[in-house]
Structure 1
Amino acid sequence: MEGAVIVINLSIIIPHYNSVDSLIKLLNSIPDQEDVQVIVIDDKSDKFTEDYTYLRDSKAYEHVAFLDNASCVKGAGVCRNIGLMNAQGNWLLFADADDFFIGGFYDYVAKFFDTHNDIVFFPPTSRDNLTGETSDRHLRYKKLVQNYIENPDDEALLDLRYKFYVPWSKLFRRSFVKDNGIFFDETIASNDLMFSTKTGHYMKLFSVSDEIIYSVTKDVGTLTKNTSEKVFDARVAVHIDYCKFLHDNAPEWYIKKQSLRSGGLILKAINYEFGVIKAISTYKLFSKHQIPVFRMRDLNLRTLKKLIHYKSEHNKQKKYLT
């Protein structure tokens, strides 16, 4: 009917940086329909700029809002916040430009449009772009969803709240995010950890689905592509914020049961060859904030194997570091 108001049910927010081919694949996995708003925010890309300009001007993607990060700060967190400020949909999905949605995902999320949920959790999947096979990047989040479906006790619920560290594979009510004033950290790394933690903490009504809507991808170098000291320091700072938030808000019994220790970051400081002095200064920083680093029972063969594995992966993929 002429003059009818179009209701935007869903806004999909996508930060982009130097990945035009994968962005096209992601956009092609999203239906072009009036009730879906697609927002791409470019994070000061400096490669494939002609291809990106062609994409923006293509009639095939006229339904996509292409925005730019014009701020003086760079990072996916800034871009996602720009997306949040421009989103009009009743519901939100987040995607990374090198991932894609599973066919038929819209029908799965649309089932929840008339509910009063704050968040709906979905189990993701993942794919190794080198082999085309299923990878392991999704497993921890798939397990969180499966555990809650199979045994929805207090611990499984708290795991959903505080351990689903990423924003993708979750459907958010936009008014819930807005009313609670939750934004992404505008840091060079781990911008999504506190967003995910705070939304998980403040949600009241939620659902958990067993339908897969999203695939995260794994490229050569994914494990170690961001291992500069600046990135490492950002991860440490956000980890401290995360531990403090849980200490202030999560039940004491849950905190005691969790592995909030920070020994993994100490090991990474060594693996990434920042030196022993960096590892010691990081240890002192955690101690200053009263964040445990190691338990004696953590210093075992399993920890040693993990250290060797990290080192092996790092050495194999050094040429892909940025």
Structure 2
Amino acid sequence: MDFTYGIVVPHYNSLSGLSRLLRSIPVRDDIQVIVVDDNSTERFEPQKIEQEFPMHNITFSTNDSGVKGAGSSRNIGIELLNSRYTLFADADDFYCEGAFELLDSVMNNEDIVYFSPTSQCDVTGDSSDRHFLYANLVSSYLAEKNEEIKYHFAVPWSKVYATDFIQRNRLYFDQVIASNDVMFSLVSGRKACHIAAYTTPIYCVTRGQGTLTVNFKPEVMKSRYLVEMNRINYINKHQINTEVMSLYKIIKNFRHVMTAAEHLHAAKLLFAGEITLLPARTYYYLKNPRALIARISKKRDSISSQRYQA
């Protein structure tokens, strides 16, 4: 391998974000950056990026797979990797100061190393709550060796993978318009034999207007629903001991895009014991009403998703 770290970045109409990301990556001979443009409708000119970042080792490619989406773009990036370790970044996020110096000191041939991320609201510039779930998973793993981190850290960023682990297990992202990373994260977590976790953040995930995370169009929600069905099937097929989806959340999240047959299928999953009626957290809140009040208060103080609509 010619590089220590390879960073795969899918890009779509986010040149300013991409510049911010690249500025957060130190100039080092052992860092490879692979930018895969997902057929941006805004003009994408790699030569201008090379002029702005002449000392970075950047490889440019285009998603010519015929299937649009970050998943297809990430898969192209995986094929171009020439590094010992692999990181995935979104073009509108950035790395924390000192991230790669930290990696130099802690990486020790694990299959996956998880880091608590931080987050930022690009609407206001304030801190965001988007990282809370992943930070809690890291804390729980360190405190209790709770392996839920392997099955619920459903994003590819704020992790470092051994490139050989990805290649040996033929890990690829789903070629779908939304939730392309969910099965990649689940399957890689199941297959990982050696993992580690650290609370020091290396990655800042942002939340801005018009991003996919706040896109609730029917085709996007249908994609998320189908991926969730695949996830439920995989967990049950491989008898993974982890918290499963609930009927309540399936109906709440996807009822507008589910057919009558799909509603019936969800009921069958419940009776087969493959999903639960209510989220596991519900029973915790019934026993701890103060925690529920605190959560509602925190949610009320956070920025509404409507603020992020394009």
Query: Does TM-score exceed 0.5, indicating one fold?
Result: yes
Measured in 2, the distance between the counterparts of 1:88 and 1:296 equals: 42
| Structure 1 residues 147 and 224, CA gap change in structure 2 (3 angstroms) | closer
The structural deviation recorded for 1:282 is 3.7
Tell whether 2:82 aligns with 1:88. yes
Does the alignment pair 1:11 with 2:1? no
Structure 2 unaligned blocks of 5 or more: none
Within 5 Å, give how 1:87-126 maps onto structure 2. Answer: 87-113=81-107, 115-126=108-119
Change (3 A) 1:13 1:224: closer
Counterpart residue number, 2:263: 283
Quote the Cα distance in structure 1 between the aligned partners of 2:120 and 2:31.
Answer: 25
Question: Who is 1:260 aligned against?
Answer: 245
The one-character-per-residue Cα deviations of 1:166-221 (angstroms, maximum 9, x if unpaired) are: 11111100001111111111111111001101111111111111221000001145
Aligned residues: 293
Q: How does 1:64-79 map to 2 (within 5 A)?
A: 64-79=58-73
Give 1:117's aligned amino acid: E
- d(CA) in 1 for partners of 2:75, 2:211: 24
CA positional deviation for 1:293: 6.5
Counterpart among 171, 176, 180 of residue 169 in structure 2: 180
Label 1:296 to 1:122 Cα distance change in 2 as closer, same or farther (>3 A).
Answer: closer
Aligned partners of 1:283 and 1:293 also within 8 Å = no
Q: 1:294 is matched with which residue: 272, 277, 297? A: 277
CA contact (8 A) 1:266 1:282 kept: no
Task: Determine whether 1:40 maps to 2:68.
Answer: no
Alpha-carbon deviation of 1:108? 1.0
Residues 277-310 of structure 1 show CA distances to partners (whole Å, capped at 9, x for unaligned) of x4645422434555536349969998xx8xx98x
Partner residue, 1:228:
217
Alignment gaps of 5+ in structure 1: 1-5
Which amino acid is the alignment partner of residue 13 of structure 1? V
Counterpart of 2:194 in structure 1 is 205
1:3 aligned residue: none
Please give the root-mean-square deviation of Cα atoms over the aligned residues, in Å. Answer: 2.9
Distance (whole Å) between structure 2 residues aligned to residue 224 and residue 93 of structure 1: 20
CA change 1:188–1:285 in 2 (3 A) is farther
Pick from 136, 139, 142: which aligns with 2:135? 142
Identify the match of residue 128 of structure 1 among 96, 110, 121: 121
TM-score normalised to the size of structure 2? 0.84
Check whether the contact 1:91–1:174 (CA below 8 A) recurs between aligned residues: yes
Q: Provide the rounded CA distance (Å) in 1 between the counterparts of 2:49 and 2:268.
A: 48
Query: Any idea what the Cα deviations from partners look like across 1:195-254, whole Å, max 9, x if unmatched?
Result: 101111111111111221000001145586422222111111111111111112245xx4
Deviations 1:34-67 (A, max 9, x none): 11100000001002x16x4553452524621111
> Cα–Cα, structure 1 residues 129 and 182, in superposed 2: closer, same or farther, change >3 Å?
same
Q: TM-score, normalised by structure 1?
A: 0.81
* Structure 1 CA distance for aligned equivalents of residues 169 and 89 of structure 2: 21
Distance change in 2, residues 1:34/1:319 (3 Å): closer
How much does 1:259 deviate?
A: 4.3
